[in-house]
Each structure stands twice: as C-alpha cells, then as structure tokens.
Chains A and B, each alone.
Chain A
Amino acid sequence: MGRPRTFAKFKEVQEELARSGSAIFRDKDGFEALVVRSPYSIEYIHSYAEDSPFFLGLAEKKLLGSRCTNPACRFVYATPRSHCMACGTPTEWHPLPLKGKLHSWTTCRFGSEAFLKETPYNLALVEFEGAGSVLLARLKDCVEKDLYVGMPVEARFSDAPKYSITDLWFVPARA
C-alpha cells in the first residue's frame, strides 16, 4: 500500500472509498485532502415507555387511540398521547375503528437509506370517525393513481409482529 489514489471529483472519491477505504481529494487550488471511510453502527435499547400499550396492541391486532379523561374535554387522539395536549389531563386507551378515510397521502419514489429498497411506497394520514387527530401509516395494495383524499381504507395487522409501527398498515376498504 502506498499513498491513496488522488481524484478531483468528490463522486470519484466516494467510489474509491467503497473500494479501498481511503482516497485523496485534490481541490482547485491543488490542496490535497485525505479522506477515509469511517463506519459507525449502534444498537439502541429503545423503550416505547408510555406508548407501549399501543405497540403491544398492534401485535394483538388492536388499534388503540387515546381519549382525554377530563369530562369537559374528551378529545380523542388517533395517534395516542398519554396526556391531553389541550388540557394536560391523563388520557385513557380508546379503541379506534378499523376503517377510516385518507386525510392526505403520497407515494415515495425515494426514501432514507434504510427504506430505499422498499420504494416506491405510499404514506397516508388516516382520519377516523369520532377522532380529533389523525394517524400516519403505510398504505398497501394500491398505487399512486388509485389514491385520493377521502378514499375509504381499512387496517391490516402483521401476523408476525415486530413491535413496530410497521406491524400496522392500511389497504383500500372493500366495498
């Protein structure tokens, strides 16, 4: 191994790093910067804490929102919160209907690195009868041209739960 190979284009530097782990970038003034590959990975001990019942519920094919226990408020959150945002009172778990409507939607042709292999995928904000806020979820079994605001959808749950929000998704509602 001698000196790393030298490049004037950053893209070529990136390619060289993938091959050999080091490269030299020469800028317009002739300055040479040494660039090395520096991997980093980490596993978190992630607790769902107060949100836990929601994720345990998905594994039992239940969709839980939360409802404010203040009799003067009773706000229903489709994405559960353990305390009410409007009045600060604790909420209680509140089953949501398994059918809803698209409040908004998109089809992602690109995504973060972790999700690139899943593209294209649809994201949907789903609204439910009786709930005052909405829920973000994946929308499957349909493509971009099928989608519209107000479209009826229904929930599906994974048979092999991974204890993630991805244990839940929506599909177009059957007529």
Chain B
Amino acid sequence: MPARTRRPTPRRAARSPPPRTPPSKGRKVYFVTGGVTKFAKAHPAMDFRLMVKRAYDYALKDVTNLTSDRIDGTRISYFSDHFSRQLKAASMVQDYLGMNPKGSVRIEWGGATGGECFQAAYEAVASGRMDVCLAAGYETMSRVATWKGNEFIALASDTNFDFPLGGFYTGYYALMVIRHIYEYVRRGKFAHVKDEREAQRLAIAEAQRVMSWVSVKNHINALHNPYAQYPKRVTVDDVLRSEMISYPLTRDQICTMSDGAAVAVLCDESRAREFTDKPVRVLGVGCGTDTMRLADRPFGKVPLFPHEKASDYTNLSYPGVHSFRAGRAAGLEAYRMAGITDPIRQLDFIELHDAYASSEIQTYEDLGLCRYGEGYDFTTSGAPFLPHLDYGLPVPEAGKIPVNPSGGLIACGHPVGATGLMQGVFALWQLQGRIGKHFGDPTLQLPNAKRGAIHSHAGTGSSVTVSILERGY
C-alpha cells in the first residue's frame, strides 16, 4: 500500500494489560482412527448421512474396542446449508449414526470448516468434557450446477461490497496472487527490468510456470491415492494450456466441487492405548482470522516466527492482499504450543489447503517453510515434492518437506466440510505408517514420518487453522 499512508496507532490504554496467559494444553489428546469416502464430482446414490456413515464405519473397523457406545459426543461440520437445502443437517447425521442423545454441535467456518471441526473435537477432549469425541464432516456440492455452486461459495464474501461485482472466489484469489507476484517476482527476479508493464508481464509468466509445478506435484501424487477425485499425470505445459478461469489462474491450478465425507476420532491418552497401538498425538492447535473483505486488509508489519528477523522484511507492507495473515497467526499459535521453532526441520510433511496453486505457494511463506518472497524459488527447489516420484521436473531438494503428499485439494477434491478432516485422516495414516494398508499402494508412504501439520483455510484467508500431529507410540 502507499508507503506514505500513516498506519493507525491504537489508542493507548491507561495501564498496559497483563501479558496473555500461556496456552493451557489441558489433557493430552490423541487421534486414533479416521475414515474418508472417495471424493467425487457427484455421489447421487448417497446422501450426506450415508456418506458420513460409510466413513464412520470404516474408522471403527480400523481399531479395537471402539464401538459407538464408547463415543461421548460429536462435532459435525458442513459449510453451506444452500448445497442441500436442508438446514440443521448435522442433526440428521447425528441421528443417522445413532448418536442421540449425546452432545453435538455443528461447526461452520467457511473453507476451514473441517479444520475447525477437528479442533472442536480436540477441545472437547482436552477440556475433559469428553473422553472420546467423533469429528465428522461432509459436503454434497453436486446438488446444484457448478456455476451455481460458485455463487453459493461467493456468498461467503461481503454481499454489500464484493459479491455483486461478480462474486467469484477464483477472481478473489487471482487478485491476491497478482499482487503477490508484483511484490515478490516483479520486485525480485525482474527488478532490473525498467519498463514497468513489461516487467509485470514477465513476472506473471514466470509465476504461472511455477504455480504449474504445484499442480503437477499434487496431481501426480494423487495417482497413488485411491480417494482422490482427479489424479492425473500432467506437465507444466498441460497446466498452462488448461482453460483460463480468472487471469492468471488456469483450471488445473484450481480445486473443484466435490461430494465427500470424512471422520476423525479423538480421545484421551488411556483410551487411545486401548483402541490402538499406534495413536497419534495432537501436539498443537492454532487458528487465525482476517477481514472478510480483501479491501480492508491492513498494511503493517510481519508477525515473526522464531527463525525470522525483522530485518528480513524491512520494506514489506503486510499482509496487504498478497499474504494470509490468518495463516501466519494460526501457524504461530500451533507452533508455539507444539514447541516448533524450525518447521522445516521439525515437521516431516504438511497437508495444506491448496484450493489454488497460488495459495499453496503463499502458504509456504505463511507457515515459515521459507521467508516471504521465497515461495516461488522454494517450489522450484523441489523441497515440497516427494523424493521417489517422477514428476518430469528437476527437483534436487525433493523430500525436504513434502507438501500435500496425498495430492491436496487440487487433486483430491474439496467437499468443504470434509476437507480439513480428510487432511487429518491422511496425516494420521502417514504417521501410523499405514498408507499402504489404506490406499492399497504404499508409494505415498514417507519413511519414518514422525510429525506432520494439517492446515485448513477459509475464503481469501479470512480464517485458517493449523494442527500439529505427532506419532504417539
């Protein structure tokens, strides 16, 4: 933003408030089992209740001694009532599963709905309110035409100022990445180009190429994930040539509408040991938010991770529309709770919310995998790629921190209320070393994965969750 603009100075309180109480972790919480339906464009032969039921039954079968009567209550997530024109649909999931009269509540937080549901179940167990909590999520987006579905999603933007202009989420993310490219590629690699318009065109072309790497990675990873909606072998050129949706984002760089459900069972330590010999601990949770309207995002300073310095960002107005402050805030909270000071070294993989190839790159920076401005180079270093797959690209640093080994949203699909839970289930199986068992193909199993992160993100970064999972055996 204009550098000359004065930033607001908060009114000074008469007395400075006491420092924030350090986060209480409450009881240790473990993630013991999960299930996912195959994500598909449409599941017309299953409604949302049956999809959740199938995922739930799968989850129960994967552990011992866990029967419905052992579950103390539920947290149920779906994003939009519009998609099924059924209000209070979570109650119908609750009774279809036979959970009445146990406690339950519906969770909704835009695209981060699934991630929030996971954390709501965490809180139920950490607080001691429940010993065993079921988190269940779904979305049935096929019940309306694709462009009507886009309209429903766009209604999750300000209906006074944003939606009537052509409410379209891909358009909003395109606005964000055009500015991201301007800040970091035009002012970075192409800083030497004098002609402003030429420099911006070169920068966008370069960024489009790198965003396509993300699409190639996630689609090719998904070739080995039977739950994925759109596994395919593609090249950078294929991605660039796919249909332009909202400049500079092409179809293959964007996730699709899906039908699907996912469940996760969280419990306390003693029950975890009873249900499985491979429990996974939820080591930290974080959540951040930002303004609903992109136009209201401030131009301030970067909240720093321990491994960053203020001098890294002397000329950067943050977050503006180029970065997700909510993602940074969620990362800060979750890393602090989990004791993570160097995410690249302390995390073995991340399942992150790649609704757009652009937002995957932006999120590398938010989560401190690289500094702000380094996301494109980080991508082409190969660091987020898997070391043992052939992407048809030079990826010398592949395996440094695999991101979306499952294929992410771009290739798995994005049935909103299920997505954050799906990431959790894939992370659970990864940490248990059981990808081969559940996928029927061990290719995506990372050797000796001990700690991973899941990241769920709502519209234009208006809310983001990060949860840290660690092998608990």
Could you say which of B85, B160, B171, B296 contacts A133, with CB atoms under 8 Å apart?
Answer: B296
Number of A residues near B (Cβ < 8 Å) is 68
B304 sits at the interface (CB 8 A): no
Q: Does B295 contact A (CB under 8 A)?
A: yes
Would A103 and B166 be within 8 Å (CB), given that A25-B44, A33-B44 are in contact? no
Is there a chain B Cβ closer than 8 Å to A142's Cβ? no
> Are the CB atoms of A133 and B295 closer together than 8 Å?
yes
A65-80 near B? 1/0 per residue, CB < 8 Å: 0001010111111110
A105 → B minimal CB distance (Å): 6
CA distance A25 to B44 in the complex (A): 7
Residues of B within 8 A of A138 (CB): 165-166
User: Does B41 contact A166, Cβ atoms closer than 8 Å?
Assistant: no
- Whether A10 lies near B8 (C-beta < 8 A) is no
Q: Does B11 contact A (CB under 8 A)?
A: yes
Chain B residues whose C-beta falls within 8 Å of the C-beta of A77 in the assembled complex:
296
B window 162-182: CB within 8 A of A:
162, 164-168, 170-172, 174-176, 178-179, 182
Asked whether A113 lies within 8 Å of B321 as measured between CB atoms, the reply is: no
The answer to whether B244 has its CB under 8 Å from any CB of chain A is yes
Distance A142 CA – B261 CA, assembled complex (angstroms): 44
Q: Any chain A CB within 8 A of the CB of B151?
A: yes
Q: Are the C-beta atoms of A10 and B6 separated by less than 8 Å?
A: no
Cα–Cα, bound, A125→B173 (Å)? 12
Find out whether the CB atom of A13 lies under 8 angstroms from the CB atom of B44. Answer: yes
Given contacts A106-B246, A130-B5, A149-B179, contact A165 B145 (CB under 8 A): no
Are B178 and A149 closer than 8 Å at their CB atoms?
yes
> Could you tell me if A113 and B148 are in contact, using CB atoms closer than 8 angstroms?
yes
The distance in angstroms between the C-alpha atoms of A7 and B423, with both chains bound, is 33
**Closest partner residue, chain B, to A35 (CB atom):** B44
What's the least CB distance linking A41 to chain B, in Å?
Answer: 12
At the interface, yes or no: A131 with Cβ under 8 Å from chain B?
yes
Q: Is A98 an interface residue (CB 8 A)?
A: no
Q: CB distance B151 to A114 under 8 Å? A: yes
Contact partners of B41 in chain A: CB under 8 A? 10
CB-defined contacts of B176 to chain A, threshold 8 Å: 104
A108 to B254, CA, bound (A): 14
B207 within 8 A of A: no
**Does B214 make an interface contact (CB < 8 A)?**
no
Q: Mark B153-197, 1 if CB is under 8 A from A, else 0.
A: 010000111101111101110111011001000100000000011
Q: Cβ of B291 and Cβ of A111 under 8 Å apart?
A: no
Interface residue total, chain B, C-beta cutoff 8 A: 59
Closest to B162 in A: A136
Q: How far is A108 from B296 in the complex, measured between Cα atoms in Å?
A: 22
Which of A85, A109, A121 makes the CB contact (< 8 A) with B291? A85
Q: Contacting A123 at CB < 8 Å: which of B44, B148, B166, B298?
A: B166
Evaluate contact between A104 and B178: CB separation under 8 angstroms.
yes
Q: Output the least CB separation between A165 and chain B (Å).
A: 5
Decide if A48 touches B160 in the complex (CB within 8 Å): yes
* A155 in the interface (beta carbon within 8 A): no
Q: Which of B164, B172, B245 has the most CB of A within 10 A?
A: B164
B143 to nearest A CB, angstroms?
A: 8
Q: Report how far A130 CA is from B1 CA in the complex, Å.
A: 11
A20 at interface (Cβ–Cβ under 8 A)? no
Cβ 8 A contact of A164, one of B164, B296, B297: B164
Closest Cβ of chain A to B362, distance in Å, is 13
B171 and A123 contact, CB distance less than 8 A: yes
- Given A27-B45, A79-B161, A125-B175, residue A112 in contact with residue B168 (CB < 8 A): yes
- For the complex, what is the distance from the CA of A116 to the CA of B160, rounded to whole Å? 19
Judge if B101 is at the interface, Cβ distance under 8 Å.
Answer: no
A74 contact set on B, CB distance < 8 A: 6, 8
CB distance from B150 to the nearest CB of A (A): 5
Question: At the interface, yes or no: B247 with Cβ under 8 Å from chain A?
Answer: yes
Would you call B196 and A150 a contact (CB within 8 A)?
yes
B161 with A109: CB separation less than 8 A? no
Q: Once bound together, how far apart are the Cα atoms of A115 and B102, in whole Å?
A: 44
Contact A165–B160 (Cβ < 8 Å): yes
Q: In the complex, what residue of chain A is closest to B175 when comparing beta carbons?
A: A104
Q: Mark A125-159, 1 if CB is under 8 A from B, else 0.
A: 10101111111111000001000111000000000
Q: Is the CB of A103 within 8 A of B1?
A: yes
Evaluate contact between B5 and A131: CB separation under 8 angstroms: yes
The smallest beta-carbon distance between B382 and chain A, in angstroms, is: 29
Q: How far is the CA of A166 from the CA of B165 in the complex (A)?
A: 6
A165 touches B164 (CB 8 A): yes
Question: Residues of B contacting A75 with CB < 8 Å?
Answer: 6-8
Q: Does A1 contact B (CB under 8 A)?
A: no
Cβ contact of A104, chosen from B42, B165, B321, cutoff 8 A: B321
Instruction: Indicate if the CB atoms of A105 and B178 lie closer than 8 Å.
Output: yes
Report yes or no: A132 in contact with B8, Cβ–Cβ below 8 A: yes
A84 at the interface (CB under 8 A from B): yes
How far apart are the CA atoms of A33 and B12 in the complex, in Å? Answer: 63
**B residues near A130, Cβ cutoff 8 Å:** 5
Tell which of B5, B8, B154, B294 touches A112, judged by Cβ atoms closer than 8 Å: B154
The answer to whether B164 touches A166, judged by C-beta atoms less than 8 angstroms apart, is yes
B8, B159, B247, B294: the one within 8 Å of A125 (CB): B294
A87 within 8 A of B: yes
B394 CB–A CB distance under 8 Å: no
On chain A, the residues within 8 Å of B154 by CB distance are 112
* Contacts of B282-315 to chain A: CB distance below 8 A: 291, 293-299
Is A118 engaged at the interface, CB distance under 8 Å to the other chain?
yes
Q: Is B167 within 8 A of A114, CB to CB?
A: yes
- Given contacts A10-B41, A148-B197, A127 and B1 within 8 Å (CB-CB): yes
Q: A125-B295, A149-B200 are in contact. List 10 more A-B contacts (CB 8 A).
A: A25-B44, A33-B45, A72-B9, A76-B5, A86-B8, A108-B166, A108-B168, A111-B168, A127-B2, A138-B166
**8 nearest interchain CB pairs?**
A86-B8, A112-B151, A106-B174, A104-B179, A75-B8, A113-B147, A27-B45, A25-B44
In the assembled complex, 6 residue pairs joining A and B whose CB atoms fall closer than 8 Å, in A order, are A79-B295, A108-B168, A108-B170, A113-B150, A132-B8, A136-B293
